[in-house]
Amino acid sequence: MKTESLTGAKRSEYRIAHISDIHFGRIAHPAIVESLVTEINDAGVDLVVVSGDLTQRAFPHQYRAAAQMLASFDAPWIVVPGNHDVFPWWRTFSRLFDPLRRYRRMITDDLSPQFTRDGLAVLGINSAFGRTIKGGRIDDSQRVAMRAFFGSLPDSTFRVLTVHHHLTALEALGDHDIAHEAEATLACAAEMNVDLVLCGHLHVSHVAHVQVFPSGHPLVIASAGTATSDRGRKPHKKTNFYNQIFITDTNFDVVEHQFSPEGMVFEEVRRSTFPRIVRAGG
Ligand SMILES: [Fe+2]
Ligand SMILES: [Fe+2]
């Protein structure tokens, strides 16, 4: 992760770009990566969150392209791997025993990246393992890390969790896989007052407001479409999306941007606004 020193006065507004499923090796249009980077840099975001599947087959040249893209962002970035970032099935030994070796060497060694600013905290967790095929997995030690990270923050902090795979089945997305131990992880996120989950994997852009039971904690799940690849799925087949998120003291907006191949630019297509949860001491 690119880092920046924590300086300056208290901030009350933040802007995050959320991109996912880049899939170098299956890029949809020759200039789409450049368009994406330019737009995000022009937006002056405070952070870029990348929720996995940087590559199509975890090949070195695909990781080099991903590293180059990350280096071209002006803002700091935080990234988690996806299932396509582990060694492919024909590299059986590496896939089982060191599935993210190339990711760790060429992108980052940090598999639970953190970003904190005054009033904002983002945690990434890895759900991509060699032994799981598609749904991903999150284990107990990662939930312990989640509790330690979010539990140390002031109540008023806006809390974001990013993970490649989904933590719950969303009706609007039809039948889809969710991570192994997703339910326990979502319950942990609710317990730790997470406001927003940023994920990907399904290649469909969708924003959902869910309540996690039994606590009833409300939480927004922003599932980004594929930002740059030709692997978009129904209803977003052959379509590319990313999100911009605006956080103020009272609200937060998730703004879906869709790529227009005619204009070679991403355009705002949907804005979902949610009230901030006021917590004790917040
Ligand atoms: Fe993907
Ligand atoms: Fe994936």
Q: Using one digit for the tens of pLDDT, what is the confidence trace for 40-80?
A: 999 999 999 999 999 999 999 999 999 999 999 999 999 99
Cα angle for residues 217, 83, 185 (degrees, 5° grid): 20
Site of tokens 């978009």: 232
Structure tokens at 272: 């979902």
Of 42, 49, 179, give the one whose Cα is nearest residue 124: 49
DSSP 24-50: BTSBSSTTHHHHHHHHHHHHT-SEEEE
Model's pTM, two decimal places? 0.93
Query: Superfamily for 14-275?
Result: Metallo-dependent phosphatases (3.60.21.10)
Spell out the domain ranges in the chain: 14-275
- Ligand nearest the Cα atom of residue 135: 2
The string of pLDDT tens digits covering residues 203-261 is 999 999 999 988 899 999 999 999 999 998 888 888 999 999 999 999 999 999 999 99
166 CA to centre of ligand 2 in angstroms: 10
CA of 214 to the centre of ligand 1 (A): 31
Residue 183 has pLDDT above 60, yes or no: yes
Distance from the alpha carbon of residue 8 to the mean position of ligand 2, in angstroms:
37
| Rounded distance from Cα 84 to ligand 1 centre (Å) | 7
Instruction: Determine the distance separating the centroid of ligand 1 and the alpha carbon of 238, expressed in angstroms.
Output: 13
Evaluate whether 102 touches 67 at the Cβ level (below 8 Å): no
Smallest-distance ligand from the CA of 54: 1
User: For residue 50, which of 79, 21, 83, 85 has the smallest C-alpha distance?
Assistant: 79
**Residues 6 or more apart from 242 whose CB is under 8 A from it?**
17, 18, 19, 20, 36, 40, 224, 225, 227, 256, 257, 266
172, pLDDT greater than 90: no
Tens digits of per-residue pLDDT, 122-132?
A: 999 999 987 66
Distance 133 CA to ligand 1 centre (A): 12
Distance 81 CA to ligand 2 centre (A): 9
